[in-house]
Every structure is written in C-alpha cells, then in structure tokens.
Structure 1
Amino acid sequence: MPSRSGPSDAPRWCVLGRVPGGGVARGRVAAVEVDAAGERSAPIPIATAELPAFVAARERSAPRWVWSDTPSWYPRLLEAGVRIERCHDLRLCHAILSRSEAVPDRGPLLAAARWEAGPGAGEGEPAESALFEIETPEDAPGAVPHDLDAALEEFDRQRAALAACVDPGRLGLLVAAESAGALVAAEMAAAGVPWDAAEHDRLLSAALGPRPARGAKPVRLLELAEEVRAALGDPRASLDSPPKLLRALRSAGIDVESTSRWELAEHEHPAIRPLLRYKKLSRLLTAKGWAWIDEWVRDGRYHPVYVPGGVVTGRWASSGGGALQLPRQLRPALRADPGWVLVSADVAQLEPRVLAAMAADGAMAAAGSGRDLYSGLVEQGIVGTRQEAKIAVLGAMYGSTTGDSGRLVPRLRRSFPAAMRLVDTAAAAGEQGGVVSTWLGRSSPRPGDEWEELQARASLPGATSRDESRARRAAREFGRFTRNFVVQGTAAEWALAWLAELRLRLARLPSPTSAESIAPARASGPAFERQPHLVFFLHDEVMVHAPEGQAAAVAAAVRESAEAAGRLLFGSAPVDFPLELRIGERALKE
C-alpha cells in the first residue's frame, strides 16, 4: 500500500485518548506522539472543538493515528471534512493479536480483559451522535476504554506482541489492513450509498402494490395469502406463524417437517407456488420495505453500518441497514448524482484463486489464468460443465462429501493435489480440535465446551455407539469449519488489502477544478463532495461514486489496486484476480 513519507523527525504514531475530568464531548482529550524508537512526547491537551483542526495539522506529517475504536473517533473528523490516511484501531487489533497462534505469549493481551469487546463496539449510532460512545462508562457491556493511559498501555502490549511474533511482517500487514478497513467502513457510513428512494418505492409498488397504511399488508401479499388459503382449504390459515402454517400444510396433506422454502419446493401442491412467492415478498417487505427507506435513507443516501471483522474469518458484518443483504431486485435504486457515475467491480472466483495462491498450486492457478476459473476446469477436461466445476470447487472448500460434490471432488484431488492438501490438512486439524490460521495470521477459535464434552464422552470405556457417532459428527463439522476458515479468511485479507489500496489511490486523484463544472455531491458530506470515494463493499465487490470525468482513472485505480493486493499477499505467485468492471449512472450487477 503506497504511503507518502513525512519529515524524518515526524512522529511515527499519534495516540489519542481522553484525559481525567471529562470525556471528549464535555471536556478534553490529549495526544501523545511516539517516534520510531518508542520515545513519547508529553501529552498534548486538545479541546473537543479543536480536535479536527489538530488532526488535520498533524496529518501533514503522516503519522499513524492510534485510538481505541475507529467508530468512536473518526465520524467527528469526517463531519468536519477531515480525513486521515492511516490508523491503528486498538480494539480490532487486540481481537487479532490476542487470538493469533503467531504470537508466542498472548498472556498480557488476554489479561487486558477491558479490550475484549465484541465486534462492532461503538458501532450502530446515528452519525449525529459521533463520539458519544467515548462518554460510555468503561464497565458498560461491550465498552472499550477510551482514556489515554489505557490506550498507551494497550498499544505497548500490541507492539510487544508484534515484535515477538513468528512472522511480524505478515501479522503486521494484517493489523494494518484491518485498521484501514475500519477507516473505509466509517467513511462509507458517513458518505452513504447514492440511493434513489423514488425508484425504490416504484420497485416495491411493482412487486407488492401501493404503499399500505402503517401496520397493514400490501395488496399483493393479501392476494397471495388468499390464494394459499384457498388451495389449502383453510380460510384461517396463518402464513406468518411457522407453527400454525406447518399445521395447515399437514392438514392439507403436505408432509413437511418445516416451512423452509427449500423443503416446500420439493412438494407438488397448488398452495406451494403462491406460498413461496408470499414468503419471498414478505422477506422483501420486512428487510427492505418502506419502513427501511424511512429509517436508513436520508437526503438521497443510504447509510448502512458496517462491522469490520464482525465474522470470525475476518469478513465484515453489518449491525444496521443490512448492507450485506441487498436484494438484486433493488439494485436499480443505486443511482449516482448528476454529473457522477458509479464504478463497480467484483472479483471472479476470489476464494478458489486465493486457495491456489496459498497452496502454490500451479495447475489450479493455470486453470483460472486470464479466464473464468470454472470454465478453465472444463477446458482442462477435469469436469464436463461449468456447473459441475462450481459444485466441485465449492465442495472442496466446504467439505461436501455427498451427492454431486462427493462424485466430483476426487477429480480435483487428482488434478490439484497441492490445493486439496492444504484444505484437507486444515480439516484434519479441526477434526482434532486444533486451530488453523489464515495466510496473514488470523487464527480460528477453538471448539466450544459442548464439542469437548462430546469427544470426552466418546472416549470413555462405557461409551455407546450413539456417543461415538455424535462425537464423529461434531468432529467432521468442526473440520469443515477449519477447512473453509483458512480460505475464506485469506480471501477476506485479500479484499481488505484491495480496499486499503484503492482508498489511498482514490484520495490521491486530483479533485476536479471549478472550471470542470462538476456539481459537488453535497449529500456525501464535506470530506467526499468533490472526491471519488468508496460507497459499497460486499466481500468481493466494491463500488465507487466518482465524478464522470474521472471514471476512467477510477476504473484504472480499481484494477491496479486488485493487482497490488495480489502482489502484497502472494508476491510473484502466478495467480490473477480478474475483475468485472461496470461504469454507469446505475452500476447494476447481473
């Protein structure tokens, strides 16, 4: 990740924290500057109102800002139009370092229980309450300490852990990328996704009927419900209560164990088709209906709340707005501002390509070189169709042993022995209750107490066949988890490196001049109204809101960032990460 360099005597880190006598919103914070040798300055007091100006001035010397929790500090700066280049998020980094098998002595970190906040501590508050969490009592559930002394102590622990770890380069890259991801998440929440609420309303009306009165169901759901009840011969059947619906289905002769759409789809009955349609539209109404527009869209922007590292593999989660569950049918509502475009890109078969790079499996890398990897498997004669290739690869990564996967995965084992050896080894470790780690050093959790009890009971002299069967099943399930953990977690690391690189490249593109007559995207806030900026991220997909005249430069930055992420993680490994790029007012993904 490129980085500008400041003067040789500039501080390498700048630690922020509150000081005794009141938190940020009511009193003062302070900063301590730390040089490369670890020497500290005296605390520099800062009044709350002066914090953005202080950070903007110090940012010219390019320090890495160290703070307790990015969502508790960064939104106030963004509201003032101040962006930073780099940070070290103590909460996120603590979660990685205190669990990583690459750290030989995790005792000091584990003893710092106050930093064991769950994913998303400090997340989820509206933008106008930025920095409110810094007033949270330190004994509150999920709180992390925001005071300066605590931050300095934790920073010392983390630096010591990194210095002593098995591979400080890799783990150092991971904590830097995780912290960069926190900045991206805060910036995307602040800027928001350009959103056409009128188009969203039109799409809902087309699917559900006109917006109903509060508390009432849309007309299309009412019609479908009546159609289902008529087919069941039960005018009082409740479609929204799974237990009641199950009884109604069985009374109509439909022998099902649950009301899941997968099981329902296996049955032939006049009630099934309208019921499945009802369930699909009901999910749309609940998850992304009119109430969702009222809550999450304002001034032409959708403001979701991302949670970096919210999944144990390092993937992101969401604690509000449902950014990670955006129905395809609503994508037309993503609409750029006048004079702006959306540049979106997603990676083809990210996880299999990451697996090929991790395992240094040249044959698997060649299958995807410059082309669709699944089609490459077909061309190499490994499987007959692209669909079979997809089933085989997903089966290999997720440990499927039955059905088509059970038939096809052995072909991969013969063709790609190095890749299969890597995931098989990870699965074997999990089956024994062991820990595995990603490419950069994020380690998996150990199995829980129930797993341990099952294994212990099966090893007793008087164990029954049922005990042994349950223990084997639990071992296989945890093996499937560790098998996928190493691949999904490393893919998340690649995506973080892509995001971090792209964020920096976008920030360094020249802002359009006033002569170019670019209408500023004012709804994106002062930090982004004239600058291309990330607005959306979903595992292997990014979206940038950019002035129309900079679309080509942004597209190049997206491609170059993907290439840089591959080199950063895997060096000269012959694995490419091809992108599907789209540019337009509405950047739709088919």
Structure 2
Amino acid sequence: MFIVLGGSPTGRVTLTEVDSAGVVLTTLPLSHTELLAEVARREPSRPRWVWDDTSQWYPALLSADLTVERCHDLRLCHNILRLSEAARGTELALGERNSWDDQPVELASSGTALFDDLADLAELSDGPADDEGARDPIAEYVLQRSTLDAIAATAPEAAARLQLLLAAESSGALIAEEMRTRGLPWSTAVHNAALTELLGPRPMFGGRPEKLEALSDTIRTLLQSPGLNPDSQQELLRALKRAGLTVTSTSKWELRSQKHPVVEPLLEYKKLSRLNSANGWAWMDAWVRDGRFRPEYVVGGVVTGRWATRGGGALQLPAQIRGAVRADDGWTLVVADAAQLEPRIIAAMSRDEKMAAAGRQGDLYQGLVDAGVVDTRAHAKVAMLGALYGATTGESARLMPKLAKAYPVAIGLVENAARTGERGDQVSTWLGRSSPRPGEAWHAAQRAAAEAGASPADERRARQLARDWGRFTRNFVAQGTAAEWALCWMAGLRIRLRALADERGEPHLAFFLHDEVMVHSPAHLADAVTDAITSAAEDAGRLLFGRFPVNFALTVVAVSSYDQAK
C-alpha cells in the first residue's frame, strides 16, 4: 500500500491511499493530531509513505515518538530521475523545471581538490524553476511511476536498478532525520578540555585564545610584520613574499616546500585556527544540546549521491575532538569502516575477478603487493588513487601503467568514464544516478578551440577543461556507486537494529561518513550489532552485484569514545 501525504506536516493534511500505479483509492482530510493517530494505526501494515520531502514530514512524526519503516521521497527521487540517462526522453526529463527540482548542495566531494574548479563549469539547471502547479504530490508520484514504467518497457534491468536506488535514497532520508533527532552522544566537558589543552582557556570576551595569540606574535616577529593579521590571506601572502618565500598561496603544500623558520609556527597556527573556527567553543554552543550533537544531514547533497551537511559539519569532525563523542553509561559505540571501498566497487562494476581476488583477504592494497603488481602497500594506494582521480604527474602517474596492465578490465572502466566526460557526455553509477553535463562555459571553450584560426591559448583551455571534466566523470562512477552501496548497507542495518531492541534500549545509527557508520548501542548488544553490521554489508554487496565474488571488508570495533576507534 502507498499512502500519499499532502498539505502541511503540522497543519491540515490530506492522506490518500493509492495503488502501485498511482490510482487513488481513498482520501482523508486530517488534522495534525489525527495524522499522528493514522500513522500509528497504519504503520504495522508496512505501507510506503509518499511525501514531498522527508526532512519536512518526518521530524513531526519523530517528535511524537513515531517511526516509519519505508517512504518514497518525491523530491529526492525527482532529482535522480530528472538527470538519469535511463530516463532521457521521458515526460519528467523533458518537462519544464519546477519546484520539485532542488539541486544538490555541492557539485563534488567535500575536501577533494580535484573538483574545486568544476563548480562553475556545471550547468545544473536550465533557468529558474516554474512554480506553477507546484508540490502536487499525487501528480508527481504518478509522473515518477510512469517514468519508471517507460524505462521498464525498453530497459527492464535499468528500471529495476533505478527503483532500488530510489528506495535506498528514500531510506537514507529517514536515517538522516533519525540520526539528527537522536543525536550523537557528546561530552561538552571532554570537548572543552581538549580545546583548553590545544588553544588555551576560552577567551572571556571573544578574540583569539592565548596559544593562537602567542603563535600570532611569533609569526609577526619572524616575518618582521608587527601589524600582520595572520587570518588575512592577502596580508599573510604579502608578508611571506617580503620575507623571501617564493609562494603563490598560503596552502600547507606550498608552505611545506619552503625553508624558513616561520613555516612550522604558521602551519601550527593554521591548524589550530581552523579547529577554533570550525569546532571551537562557539560551535559547541550552537550545535550541542543536552549531551547530543545534532547535525543537519543533506541526503544526496553531492551530485555523486554522497551526503553533505547543512550545518554542524558532521562530515569533518577533526581527530582532536573525537574523544568528545562518548557513549552513554551502559552503552557503547560500535564503529565500522569499509576498507578500500571504491577500488572494490570498480572491481565489482567491471566484473574484474582478478582485482576482486586481490581484496579477498581484507587488505586490497596488500593484495596488490602480494600479486606482484607493485612493490609496497604505499605504492599500491598511490597507484589506486591515481586510477580513481586521474593522476597525470608524479608517483601516481608512474605507477598507473602497472595497475592498468594487471587489471585492464577495472581500470578500463574508469578510463572509459574519463573519455566519456572529456566528450561532454554523461556517465552513470551502477544503479543509474547520472552525472550532470558540463555547462555553457565548457561548451563555449570547445567551440572556440574547434573554430578555424583558434589560438593556441584557446586550444589549451579547451583541452584542460575537457581533462578536468573527464577526471570528474572518472571518479563519479566509483564514488557514486560506493554511495549507493553505503545507502543499501545502512538501510539493511537500520532494519536489523530495530529488531534487536529490548527492554534496555534500541541500538541505532548515530553517525555516518561515506564509508563509515557508528551505532550507539546498549553494551550487552555490542556483539549482536557487530554481526548486524557485517551481515548488512554482505547483503548490500549481493543486492547490487549479485553473486560476483567481491568482498566488502569491514573493520568493526566497540569502543566507549570515538577516538578509540582509530
């Protein structure tokens, strides 16, 4: 049974039962109080709740201690279908943009320098959204069902994979809201102690903590710039150049290449300043309440399908404060990390049994060494990163040919994705999430280079932009499919954890970071949770890749605080 909710989650609601084809069976107008009663009454029959946005509807249910097993998030699913290659030519893909079109927060993975320059190349929209007829959930649900039916008529396997992706994405939306509501257990006392040790006592009236101020004085002295504000990139760069450092930026990579006494204190200042601004006392005041950190996750916030955060920065908790993540008394944190996820993903996608075999014993990088592909584990990691991110210089580029020779099927998959991107075409993940096309600036550069009499500068720019977009699509297929596996892993784990609940509490997902999950569990259930995590990972692999013999190796530990897991 599919139940479509319309209206407002805290006001008047229309509850409509529809069948799998979207045919309306019954309609009920409800108040907010009546909605809560209906959800409690109907949930045991395991309906799929259909609504415009999980982040708008589910919090109202969670605040009333109501959880649902399944939903269909129309906004998230619309965005997937709108861009999907498989849906090309359908009414949904060709229709005018409207309020269902809500683009991801980021073009690419946070913290990956590879994608830093791509944001202004992607034209993710064709203009402003048309709000006419906005947010009719039944009409949108029918449109999405008809889109899947149209795909199934000619490509049934693609439609089945897309249906799995839509279900997994919607399950992820439920998980994100449940994690925010329950929160990550957090000790402000431990956090404050860590900040005090690293930065000095908390300033009473703002300003820099004493250790940062002391480092500032050292930097000013060493650069002979008494009025320097080290937080000003322009001022700092000018001072560095006056002191004879040949730098074009203040990045740590450039600074480390310089021989000058200011380098070490400056790098230390930058590290501590980042901690103070991103996760200092002000952050703690804003984001930690009642012993819980409650970040705002954005499901599908990156175009590859990875999550982002709207606030709180949960995806970038630095090592210095992870000790503040502490299990409640009588509880434990079960932390699981999927090892070398993306290389295993490309092995499974390409059906490269030789690469899959390299990871059979757990450590895929060591497997490459044992197979004689490279001489050290460090070289194996560098070579694989080169394959995933398109290295053209340095050690990665030198080692890549060895990897390509040993595993031509797997490496061929990412190479083909790169060539596709260089042509300006789309690539897709295993389940059917497709990459955006490059924007008008990219196409204009290619046209300019193709014109008679194009300058060498025009040709170089076009080639560079093509290579950049190819590196993006190269990684898109691996990172995006890894995100799909992680969604299926968490969806399966969530169901297993609910089944473990007893009179002492229910273990639940508390944290997620791309290829890592954390479960907050009653201590006596730690072993059962470990088994649930492992079996959910195995099921996710079978769900996506069938019987292909790829091993998604996990490291699972039960700890009292997050810093003990590393």
Query: Which TM-score band (shorter chain)?
Result: over 0.9
* Matched ranges for 1:178-577 at <5 A: 178-509=169-500, 511-513=501-503, 518=504, 530-577=505-552
Aligned to 1:117: 102
CA distance in structure 2 between the aligned counterparts of 1:174 and 1:103, rounded to whole angstroms: 14
Distance 1:582 1:145, change over 3 A: farther
Q: Which range moved further: 406-415 or 228-237?
A: 228-237
CA distance in structure 2 between the aligned counterparts of 1:112 and 1:278, rounded to whole angstroms: 47
1:61 correspondence with 2:45? yes
Alignment check: 8 A CA contact 1:192 1:535 kept: yes
Alignment check: 8 A CA contact 1:343 1:545 kept: yes
CA distance in structure 2 between the aligned counterparts of 1:37 and 1:150, rounded to whole angstroms: 16
Counterpart secondary structure, 2:333 = strand
Q: Aligned match of 1:158 in 144, 149, 155?
A: 144
Alignment check: 8 A CA contact 2:9 2:56 kept: no
Alignment check: 8 A CA contact 2:389 2:471 kept: yes
Instruction: Give deviations 1:362-415, integer Å, cap 9, x for gaps.
Output: 110011102200011111111111110001001011110211111100001110
Instruction: Give deviations 1:22-45, integer Å, cap 9, x for gaps.
Output: x443x4101111124543223111
Counterpart secondary structure, 2:189 = helix
Aligned to 2:4: 15
Q: Which amino acid aligns with 2:91?
A: G
Distance 1:404 1:50, change over 3 A: same
Alignment check: 8 A CA contact 1:246 1:258 kept: yes
Distance 1:203 1:142, change over 3 A: farther
Cα offset for 1:104? Answer: 4.0
Aligned to 1:29: 13
CA distance in structure 2 between the aligned counterparts of 1:81 and 1:146, rounded to whole angstroms: 33
CA distance in structure 1 between the aligned counterparts of 2:452 and 2:542, rounded to whole angstroms: 53
CA distance in structure 1 between the aligned counterparts of 2:453 and 2:131, rounded to whole angstroms: 47
Distance 1:309 1:144, change over 3 A: farther
Cα offset for 1:143? Answer: 11
Alignment check: 8 A CA contact 1:501 1:565 kept: yes
CA distance in structure 2 between the aligned counterparts of 1:145 and 1:13, rounded to whole angstroms: 26
Using structure 1 for the length normalisation, give the TM-score: 0.89
CA distance in structure 2 between the aligned counterparts of 1:104 and 1:361, rounded to whole angstroms: 29
Cα offset for 1:230? Answer: 1.3
Counterpart secondary structure, 2:23 = coil
Q: Which amino acid aligns with 1:170?
A: R
Cα offset for 1:235? Answer: 1.6
Q: Which amino acid aligns with 2:81?
A: L
Alignment check: 8 A CA contact 2:97 2:130 kept: no
Alignment check: 8 A CA contact 1:341 1:551 kept: yes
Alignment check: 8 A CA contact 2:345 2:482 kept: yes
Q: Which amino acid aligns with 1:553?
A: A
Q: Which range moved further: 164-173 or 491-500?
A: 164-173
Instruction: Give deviations 1:101-158, integer Å, cap 9, x for gaps.
Output: 111433335335121123379xxxxxxxxxxxxxxxxxxx9999998x7000000000
1:84 correspondence with 2:60? no
Cα offset for 1:61? Answer: 1.1
CA distance in structure 2 between the aligned counterparts of 1:120 and 1:271, rounded to whole angstroms: 37
CA distance in structure 2 between the aligned counterparts of 1:37 and 1:472, rounded to whole angstroms: 47
Counterpart secondary structure, 2:430 = coil
Counterpart secondary structure, 1:102 = helix
State the superposition RMSD in angstroms.
Answer: 1.7
Q: Which range moved further: 29-38 or 51-60?
A: 29-38
Using structure 2 for the length normalisation, give the TM-score: 0.93
Aligned to 2:59: 75
Q: Which amino acid aligns with 1:97?
A: L
CA distance in structure 2 between the aligned counterparts of 1:313 and 1:152, rounded to whole angstroms: 28
Q: Which range moved further: 164-173 or 351-360?
A: 164-173
Q: Which amino acid aligns with 2:5?
A: L
Alignment check: 8 A CA contact 1:97 1:106 kept: no
Cα offset for 1:292? Answer: 0.5
Q: Which amino acid aligns with 1:34?
A: V
1:589 correspondence with 2:565? yes
CA distance in structure 2 between the aligned counterparts of 1:143 and 1:31, rounded to whole angstroms: 26
Sequence identity of aligned pairs in percent?
Answer: 54
Alignment check: 8 A CA contact 1:68 1:146 kept: no
Distance 1:81 1:228, change over 3 A: same
CA distance in structure 1 between the aligned counterparts of 2:133 and 2:561, rounded to whole angstroms: 41
Cα offset for 1:466? Answer: 1.2
